[in-house]
Amino acid sequence: MPLAAFSCFLLAVFSARGQASFQDLDFEEANIVIIGGGSPYNPFAISAADALPGWTVDYGTVQQSAILYNDPNLGTTAVTLLGNGYGPPIDGNYSVLLQGGVIGNAPTSASISQTGLIPPTAESLVFKVAATYGGFGSLVFYVGTQSVPLTAVGTGADYTLYGGDISALAGQTEQITISAPGQSGNWEIDDITFSPTAVPEPNTLALILMSGLALAARRWWTKGS
């Protein structure tokens, strides 16, 4: 291999190694160590770094060092890790509850963010959402500082699958943020995935949703028989 080509190869290798991949997109890497001794959430707090490895948590613009564990707030902005001890997560052992509420008298968002390399083949980012605890309004999804519209692309037994078009940013290192705006209620999320499939067009989406409703009706009918 010519020296110039070999140098380009090494540069590409080291560049790829320097671009970190996203982690804990399904929230299953939690290390449950309850914080005591003066934590503002004692005895229901866990370090944000232990609860959500790779993620940062913000209430409004203020980064948080701890989040709640199996103890959602009532009306106050919070991020809560939900495990099997509280109620069944959407999938696996853990889900995350984003509670866009109020701090003081000000509506304040609850957000989780992470920076990493968006896979070169990614067309969309999809994740599961449940409004089990009274969600209303809407979630907000950002890539960097750009707001990306979310579209319902499917349904499950107890969740809606949302997707956002990220094709223009594939192969780039970017920050992704999922946020529940102030006073937007409670949104449980899980299983964030980079998909090589584009967000469906409206006509295709309607067929997907109709198929999901038909499947749910069939399950209900079978269960009731």
Give residue 135's pLDDT: 63
Measured CA to CA, the distance from residue 73 to residue 132 in angstroms comes to 14
Domain boundaries, the chain: 21-224
Short-list 112, 113, 116, CA closest to 172:
116
Report whether 68 contacts 83 (CB < 8 A): no
Classify domain 21-224 at the CATH class level.
mainly beta
Measured CA to CA, the distance from residue 155 to residue 16 in angstroms comes to 35
pLDDT tens series, the chain, 225 aa:
443 433 333 233 333 333 579 999 999 999 988 886 556 666 688 999 999 999 999 999 999 999 999 888 888 899 999 998 777 899 999 999 999 989 989 999 999 999 999 999 999 999 999 977 666 667 899 999 899 999 999 999 889 999 999 999 999 999 999 999 998 888 999 999 999 999 876 544 343 344 443 333 343 344 344
Residue 5 DSSP SS3: helix
Give residue 61's pLDDT: 95
Q: What DSSP designation does 199 have? A: P
- Could you give the maximum distance between any two Cα atoms of the chain, in Å? 73
Measured CA to CA, the distance from residue 185 to residue 98 in angstroms comes to 8
Short-list 133, 50, 155, 36, CA closest to 87:
133
Measured CA to CA, the distance from residue 181 to residue 136 in angstroms comes to 10
Neighbour-count burial for 134-148, b at 16+ CB within 10 Å, e otherwise: ebeeebbbbbeeeeb
Torsional class of 2: left (φ above 0), alpha (ψ -120 to 50), beta (otherwise): beta
